[in-house]
Amino acid sequence: MTQFPKISVVTPSYQQGAYIEETIRSVIEQGYPNLEYIIIDGGSTDASVEIIKKYADSLTYWVSEPDDGQTDAINKGLHKATGDIVAWLNSDDVYLPGTLQAIAEAFIADPKLEIAYGDVENFFPDGRNQVSVNDFELLDFLSRVSIHQPGVFWKRELHDRLGYLDPSFYYLMDYDLWARLFMNCKHQHIDKVLTRFRVHNEAKTGNNPPGLYMDYRRVISRLLNSLPYTDLKDKAIQLGIYSNEEDVQYPLSIPPAKGVMDAAFNTYVMNCIVQEYTFGHWASTNKLIVNSMGSGPVANKLKFLVKNNMGLGILKSQGK
């Protein structure tokens, strides 16, 4: 009889009394025979603690105490975890039935597998649903957060080699972790919707604030700082879109090919142009467009200008 690997699930929570019971039930009702479930609550004053206590017998560990935010809570839980496989599920998301079984089967089938991930269904207050297909492809990954966090599971031992979540990230601590994990470890996409991700106004990433965009720039800058060639990092610095004051480097067992990174860099520049335009920073948008003409197809820049009705006079001289 095949032994089921121990799966540790960590749920960080703060003031999520409206949602956390559904989250808890979605985990413990998996019926998975080797589950370790950990809840790290940040000292909630709503109904959260009473709800957690209601299910205490089904939890391996839980605590409610002040912490330094979501990333700190997740790291606390991951350090407590003893499972072969780990993941975190936020206190407003839910696993679909059979999720842990599907993950276990993937790891059992391939002992060398280090990351297994499936698709995620986004669900909205108005009843709409939208499936987000997780599929790691490097160029796509470097252009956006293409790997949806609730659907990812990985071997706990990877933290010994590649580290935990970086608490300096407020929005994209998962993207920073994926850059380390997916670019160094064997991974497999499971063609199955594993998780439901709740989209609501209280979610901190709901409005895509500037902080989220800047976290994205930090991840790409760290990657540029990790490459065996420096021309792209130098270009990013010259364009003013390099953000890595800590001088962090990612461990890269096999650095991405130069051609792949050249294409990714052009997309990164375009993303930064769009971000500056979204911020309403007209002067920096114009400056970035003009100064980046030599780093990618001019046609793409012109298409962006036309699409956004910005004209070709390099537009507004009034900047922020």
Q: pLDDT of 247-295, one tens digit each?
A: 999 999 989 999 999 999 999 999 999 899 888 888 888 888 878 765 5
> What's the pLDDT score for residue 201?
61
With a cut of 50, say whether residue 219 has pLDDT above it: yes
Of 290, 280, 260, 6, the closest CA to residue 139 belongs to 260
DSSP per-residue string spanning 113-148: --EEEEEEEEE-TTS-EEEE-----HHHHHHS--S-
Token pair of 73 as six digits: 């809570």
State the pLDDT confidence band at 87, using cuts at 50, 70 and 90. Answer: very high
Could you tell me the domains of the chain? 7-198 (3.90.550.10), 210-307 (no CATH)
* Per-residue model confidence (pLDDT) at position 18: 93
What is the average per-residue pLDDT within 199-205? 63
Does residue 300 carry a pLDDT above 90?
no
Specify the pLDDT at position 143. Answer: 92
Q: What is the mean pLDDT of the chain?
A: 89
Name which of 87, 73, 82 is nearest 115 in CA terms.
87
- Asked whether the predicted pLDDT for residue 309 surpasses 80, the reply is no
Please state the rounded mean pLDDT for residues 86-103: 97
Confidence of residue 302 (pLDDT cuts 50, 70, 90): low
Number of C-beta neighbours around residue 285 at 10 A? 27
User: What is the torsion angle, in degrees rounded to the nearest 10, for the CA atoms of residue 66, residue 72, residue 76 and residue 81?
Assistant: 140
As a whole number of angstroms, the distance between CA 151 and CA 106 comes to 13
Other beta carbons within 10 Å of 97: 10
State yes or no: pLDDT of 314 exceeds 50.
Answer: no
Q: In this model, does residue 96 exceed pLDDT 70?
A: yes
pLDDT of residue 2: 63
Of 271, 303, 267, 301, which Cα lies nearest the Cα of 286?
A: 301
CB-based contact 117:187 (threshold 8 Å): yes
What pLDDT, in 10s, does the model give residues 157-201? Answer: 999 999 999 999 999 999 999 999 999 999 999 999 999 999 866
Helix (H, G, I), strand (E, B) or coil at 144: coil
pLDDT for 290 equals 79
- Which pLDDT band holds residue 98 (cuts at 50, 70, 90)? very high
Alpha carbon distance 121, 207 (integer Å) = 19
pLDDT tens-place string over residues 73-85? 999 999 999 999 9
3-class SS at 6? coil
What are the percentages of helix, strand and coil residues in the chain, rounded to 5? 40, 15, 40
Q: What is the mean pLDDT of residues 203-208?
A: 57
pLDDT band at 1 (very low <50, low <70, confident <90, very high): very low
Q: Is the pLDDT of residue 222 over 70?
A: yes
Q: CA-to-CA distance for 24 and 52, rounded, in angstroms? A: 8
User: Band of the pLDDT at 205, cuts 50, 70, 90?
Assistant: low
Please write the tens of the pLDDT for every residue from 10-57: 999 999 999 999 999 999 999 999 999 999 999 999 999 999 999 999
